[in-house]
Chain A
Amino acid sequence: MPENETVTDIGLDEYKYHFITEDKPVFKAQPGLSEEIVRQISAHKDEPEWMLEFRLKALKTFYAKPMPDWGGDLATLEETLDEIYFYLKPQDHMERSWDDVPEEIKDTFERLGIPEAERKMLAGVGAQFESEMVYHSLKEQWEELGVIFESIEDGLRLYPELFKEYFSTIVPIGDNKFSALNSAVWSGGSFVYIPKGVTVDIPLQAYFRVNAERMGQFERTLIIVDEGSQAHYIEGCTAPVYTTESFHSGVIEIIVKKDERFRYTTIQNWSHNMYNLVTQRAMVHEGAKMEWLDGNLGSKLTMKYPSCYLVGEGAHGSILSIAYATDGQHQDTGGKVVHAAPHTTSQITSKSISRGSGRSSYRGLCKVYEGAVGSRSNVECDALLLNETSRTDTYPYIEIDENMSSIGHEATVSKIGEEQLFYLMSRGLSEEEAMAMVVRGFIEPIAKELPLEYAIELNRLIELEMEGSVG
């Protein structure tokens, strides 16, 4: 019996996104990974020969590279890889209008809480349902400005030269074992090009979720932002709860050219059986500014370190990261900044909360190459521990080859403040409410950077998570 034909009646109270929608995949590959699967994916996507070769080379690299022996516990992942589906495509063509989107998928979005108003207002929505973009529209005025916001497959098909020029130059196949895997089996994701001097006011958003049991998700996103532009891309994910482990391994490549300003926001709330191993990297040119805003709440294990390679004079990189780990979760997150040009600056701010048997680890790199004179970097990590069984780690790497630079790193670990709790409870809040309030205050510096609807959702999630945190 195909797992995906299950219809759920699981209580929504238990877990907000704990539901499964009936859907009928058009094409579903066999579970497990093989050269045959990779060839099938490529053939099914009708790709040029070079992409098939790229995928096959990546598969070889994936097999050759050892599992990382650092970060989270990947011991059971090998088995998981034999069981998951590496490709799944729910529909065989892209939807152009909302009316054409199947009801059951609309229902999924409904439950995800994407507001009605937002759907109308949003200029472009790349919604990834299972392995491919099912809905993807672009406001007419943007098309006039020359903004491209397509599925990655259409990016390759419609803009082959632009695609080939940049694809895999930011995250090469062999960067790590999971970038190699993604390179072999990637499917879905976005292709974005913002032309020179264009400011995109409304964030570009891509919602996607995993829905079939044991299905891998290997989205690949390539974003090129030309000189003097400004834009914000938002990616949010959530997944239903299943008993067997699942796997997500995306690769995000971003090129930010001269004097451009770009922000990439991720709020990740995968179900708690998900391995989430993502490579996100941006190359930042002269005078440009790249900001990663990264929220990690879900998954069983997340290993994700958004990176800024500052290669042009005066480039700036900033990474704001929050992680929340509760029972059985490990958030191994952080950020990397590489200063390779003079007068580049960076800031990493990381806030983590560990609850129950949850573990949050900050892992980061700050590297300054010789010649990057006048570079400055500052890293601040705050870890909050809610229970005596909680764990937090901090693993920064600071490698400095330039003496005319100034680098600082600070981290503090603390228990949730008894005095704060006592004060709030004396004002009539329950202990649970008081704890939720303290936690909200702790992540406030990051929540306030989010668009309003995300900030609201984040607060709602924190409240849900804090339920039953006492006793």
Chain B
Amino acid sequence: MGDFITVAAVGEIPAGGMKAVSAGGESVIVVEQDGEYFALQDRCSHEEFPLSEGELEDGEITCILHGARFDVRSGTPKSLPAILPVKKYDVRVEGDEIQVRV
């Protein structure tokens, strides 16, 4: 497992919002939920489409391609056509930097 990489500054991601970043060659989305940050691979488990193009609402992200929904805290699918979870990464806040370990 790699090191934590700084991907954004605290405050850069609005409450309940998300940001698409690149960390260690991987496309990642970082999400804010109730003061906590979560990071998922920016790739729908259904047809590998970037989730960052979709919509985030009530803790669920919806893939724009075929409407699959995922819990952003865990990456667990909440509807078909997705079956597999989206890969989740560790996140931490160091000072005012948000860091992700890919």
Contact = CB atoms under 8 A, between A and B. Distances in A.
Interface of A: 61, 168-176, 179-180, 281, 283, 309, 311, 338, 340, 369
B67 interface: yes
B81 interface: yes
B83 A172 contact: no
Given A172-B68, A172-B69, A309 B63 contact: no
Contacts, number: 43
13 contacts: A61-B67, A169-B78, A169-B79, A169-B80, A172-B62, A172-B68, A172-B79, A173-B67, A174-B62, A174-B67, A175-B66, A180-B67, A309-B80
Contacts of B68: 172
A309 B84 CA distance: 12
B76 to A, nearest CB: 12
Nearest to A180: B67
Interface centre among A61, A174, A180, A338 (most CB of B within 10 A): A174
Interface residues on B, range: 10 to 19
A292 B83 CA distance: 21
Given A340-B84, A369-B84, A168 B66 contact: no
Nearest to B78: A169
Contacts of A176: 66
A338 B83 contact: yes
Nearest to A371: B84
Interface string B78-102: 1111011000000000000000000
A283 B64 CA distance: 21
Nearest to B62: A174
Contact of B67 (A175, A309, A369): A175
A173 B63 CA distance: 11
A452 to B, nearest CB: 34
Contacts of B62: 172-174
B84 A174 contact: no
A338 B83 CA distance: 10
A173 B60 CA distance: 14
Contacts of B83: 309, 311, 338, 340, 369
A283 to B, nearest CB: 6
A281 B80 contact: yes
Question: What 4 A-B pairs are tightest by C-beta distance, nearest first?
Answer: A174-B67, A172-B67, A172-B79, A340-B83
Nearest to A311: B83
A281 B62 CA distance: 19
A170 B79 contact: yes
A114 to B, nearest CB: 34
A309 B46 CA distance: 12
Nearest to A338: B83
B26 to A, nearest CB: 19
Nearest to B68: A172
Nearest to A168: B79
A164 to B, nearest CB: 12
A219 B78 CA distance: 23
Contacts of A175: 66-67, 80-81
A171 B81 CA distance: 7
A309 B81 contact: yes
